[in-house]
Amino acid sequence: MTLQNAHTSAVPQEPSGRRTVGWHKDHVTGDRPDLRVPVRRVHLTNGQDVVLYDTSGPYTDPSIETDVRRGLAPLRENWITARGDTEEYPGRPVRPEDDGIKHTAPRGGLRNLDAVFPGRPRRPRRGRDGTAVTQLAYARRGEITTEMEFVALRENVSPETVREEIAAGRAVLPANVNHPESEPMIIGKRFLVKVNANIGNSAVTSSIEEEVEKMTWATRWGADTVMDLSTGRNIHTTREWVLRNSPVPIGTVPLYQALEKVDGKAEELTWEIYKDTVIEQAEQGVDYMTVHAGVLLRHVPLTARRKTGIVSRGGSIMAAWCLAHHRENFLYEHFEELCEILAAYDVTYSLGDGLRPGSIADANDEAQFAELRTLGELNRIAKRHHVQTMIEGPGHVPMHKIKENVDLQQETCEEAPFYTLGPLTTDIAPAYDHITSGIGAAMIAWWGTAMLCYVTPKEHLGLPDRDDVKTGVITYKIAAHAADLAKGHPGAQHWDDALSDARFEFRWEDQFNLALDPETARAFHDETLPAEPAKTAHFCSMCGPKFCSMKISQQIREEHGDGSTAVAGAYDAEALAGMRAKSEEFAAGGNRVYLPVVD
C-alpha cells in the first residue's frame, strides 16, 4: 500500500464494532519485513482515514518500549553490514578534552565517565580501505539501496526516482553508517520540503537531558532533521546521547567543538585539530556537517562595510583565523582530504554560508554571492569524491530578493539541495522571528529550497525552550507544507482537503486530529465553547448558532444536489428555469436557512 492510496481507505473496525477516533502510529510496509515506513494514521468519524508523514520515531509507537539510556534499535544495521563494504575498527579514543574537560580536571585528569552514554553499543565503522560508502556512490553505480526504497515508500515515488535524484546530486539521503538508528529520509526539491530544528547547549545555559528531550520533542512535531549546535561543556557526550536516541539524521558544526579544544582562540585552530574533531563526530554517527570552507581570505574585506558584518558563528571564526594568519581558510585548502574522510562514513556536506546577510541592508551583497560561487566550486569537488552535498543559504532577505538566491544557488551549485535559514523578511520584529522568517521560508521553498532551518521566537534574544522549539517547528511545517502545495506536490493537498471537508461538515474532532497541532486547536475551541456537545454542534464558535455561513452553504448544496447541472449551465435559460424550480422547493420547505442546532 502506498501513502497516496492509503489515505482514502477505510479503517478496519475494532472487534467491538466501535472505531477508535483519533490517530495512531502505523507503518507502511515494503517488500522486506524490515522495511516499515512510519506514518501517522488519523481515524475520522466518517469511517475514512488519512495517512500523514511521520517523523516522531518509535517514541509514538506504543508497541515499542524506548529507554533513553539504551538508545533506539539500529534499524539500518543489517542493511549496512549486508553491503559488505564497511569495516569495524577500534576508533579514535575518546579524550577528556572532547567534552571540554581541561588538564586541571580532578581525579588525575580523568573525567567522570558516568555521563558517557551507558549503552554505546558498537565499535565505529567506516568504508573498507577508504571506499566511498555513500548513497551517492551507490546511486551513481545504479544501485537502489534499502534506504532508497524506504524513502521511496515514504515519499510515494518510485525507488528509481529516488536513485536518479541522488545520482544527479539534486537530492541527499543523510545516513552515516554509524547512525543506524535513523529512519531514512531524503532532501531534494522533487520531494516534500523538509524542516530542520536546531538544539544545543551553550556556555550560558542548558543540559544534556534538556537537549535529548528537545530532540524528541522537535521530531514529535515534525522536525525532519536536528542539528546539535552545542558549544559549551559536554559536547561529545551530549551528542552521543542525542545520536543514540535520534530517529532523524543529526547535523553538527564541527568547528564549534574544534574551537572549544583551543579554548576559544580562533587563531590557534589547526587543520589537525579540526580533522580530529570531524573523525570523532563521524565515528559517533553525525549524518551531516556544516563546513565553512567557502569563507576565503579575499572575501573577508567585502564584509567590512556591511551593516551587520559576519553573523554566522562559523563564518566569523574562519574569517578571524584567515586574518590572524593571513592565509587561506584551512578548510578550503584541505577540502579534498576532508572529502575522503566524509566519504568513508557517508557524512553529507552542508556547505555553510559563513557570509550570509544578517540584516535586510546586507542581503544579496557581493560578500554573500562571492562565497556562493566558492561553494559551487566546492560542490563540484565534493561530488568528485562521491560525497553527498547540500548548500546552506540566508539569512535576512527582503521578499523581492529571495528568488535571486535560489536561482543563483541552483545555477552555481548544479541543483544541489538548498538548505536555508528562513530567510527573515524584515529585521523589526525580535520575539516574532519565527514569523518574519516563516514568510521567507515558505517563499524560498516554493522556489526550490529543499530543507528549511527553523527559527524560533527566541532568535536574536535567547535560547529556545520547549515551547519555542514547538512553535518554531510548527511554523516551519506550515511554511514547508504551503510550499509543497504551491509546487503541486502530488501528496500534499489531500491533507488540506481532508481538513476542509471536516470543517465544512462540522466534524470538530476530525479537524482537531488532522491539525498540525491537535492539542492547541482543541484547547482554543474549548476556550469559547467548552461543553462537550459543542464538539458535535453544527455551528462554529465564531458566529454562534444563528449565524453560520457553513450551515447556509450546506443548505444550498442540499437544495442544489451536487450542483452539477446548475454549474454546467449556470448562464443559460434552461439552468435558470431549473433554479426557479429549486427555489420553489426551497420555499415549500419553509425557507429554512438554519438547521436546528444539535443539543
Annotated binding site for substrate: 198, 227, 256, 292, 312-314, 353-356, 392, 419
CA angle 378, 376, 188 (to 5 degrees): 100
- Closest approach of Cβ 520 to a copy of itself, in Å? 4
Q: Does 192 bind a copy of itself (CB under 8 A)?
A: no
Please tell me the distance from the alpha carbon of residue 313 to that of residue 200, in angstroms, as a whole number: 14
Sign of the four-CA dihedral 570, 572, 576, 582: negative
Nearer to a copy of itself, 346 or 392 (CB): 392
Q: Which of 72, 383, 378 is nearest to 248 (CA)?
A: 72
Of residues 415-434, those binding a copy of itself (CB under 8 A):
425-432, 434
C-alpha cell at position 480: 514547508
Q: Which of 419, 454, 495, 506 binds a copy of itself (CB under 8 A)?
A: 495
**8 Å CB contact between 248 and 217:** no
Of residues 347-376, those binding a copy of itself (CB under 8 A):
358-361, 366
Looking from the CA of 29 toward its CB, the CA atoms found within 13 Å total 4
Residue ranges for the binding site? 198, 227, 256, 292, 312-314, 353-356, 392, 396, 419, 460, 540, 543, 548
- Closest approach of Cβ 421 to a copy of itself, in Å? 13
**8 Å CB contact between 471 and 432:** no
Which contiguous run of DSSP H or E holds residue 315?
helix 313-325
Nearer to a copy of itself, 250 or 319 (CB): 319
Stretch 556-585: interaction string toward a copy of itself, x if CB under 8 A: xx-xxxxxx-xx--xx---xx--xx-xxx-
Q: Which of 144, 517, 535, 595 binds a copy of itself (CB under 8 A)?
A: 517
Stretch 290-319: interaction string toward a copy of itself, x if CB under 8 A: -------xxxxxxxxxxxxxxxxx-xxx-x
**8 Å CB contact between 421 and 454:** no
- Closest approach of Cβ 355 to a copy of itself, in Å? 10
- Closest approach of Cβ 492 to a copy of itself, in Å? 9
Q: Which of 256, 274, 345, 349 binds a copy of itself (CB under 8 A)?
A: 256
Q: Does 324 bind a copy of itself (CB under 8 A)?
A: yes
Nearer to a copy of itself, 66 or 308 (CB): 308
Annotate 448-503 with three-state secondary structure: CCCEEECCCCCCCCCCCCHHHHHHHHHHHHHHHHHHHHHCCCCCCHHHHHHHHHHH
Nearer to a copy of itself, 47 or 462 (CB): 462
Q: Does 533 bind a copy of itself (CB under 8 A)?
A: no
- Full DSSP string of 256-268: HHHHHHTTT-GGG
- For the CA atoms of 508, 514, 517, 522, the dihedral, rounded to the nearest 10 degrees, stands at 10
Q: Does 75 bind a copy of itself (CB under 8 A)?
A: no
Q: Does 91 bind a copy of itself (CB under 8 A)?
A: no
| Residue at grid coordinates 518554531 | 472
Q: Does 446 bind a copy of itself (CB under 8 A)?
A: yes
Nearer to a copy of itself, 140 or 460 (CB): 460
- Closest approach of Cβ 58 to a copy of itself, in Å? 25
Nearer to a copy of itself, 86 or 198 (CB): 198
Of residues 262-291, those binding a copy of itself (CB under 8 A):
264-267
Q: Which of 212, 232, 228 is nearest to 220 (CA)?
A: 212
Q: Does 598 bind a copy of itself (CB under 8 A)?
A: no
Q: Does 549 bind a copy of itself (CB under 8 A)?
A: yes
Residue ranges for the binding site for [4Fe-4S] cluster? 540, 543, 548
Annotate 49-70 with three-state secondary structure: EEEEECCCHHHHCCCCCCCCCC
Nearer to a copy of itself, 63 or 591 (CB): 591
Q: Which of 1, 21, 399, 598 binds a copy of itself (CB under 8 A)?
A: 399
Please state, as a whole number, how many other Cβ atoms lie within 10 Å of the Cβ of residue 130.
11
How far is CA 340 from each of CA 17, 139, 141, 288, 387, rounded to the nearest angstrom?
59, 18, 18, 14, 8
Q: Does 45 bind a copy of itself (CB under 8 A)?
A: no
Residue 380, SS3?
helix
Task: Please work out the total of residues on this chain that contact a copy of itself, with binding judged by CB under 8 A.
Answer: 145
- Residue 123 makes CB contacts below 8 A (sequence gap 6+) with 88, 89, 90, 91
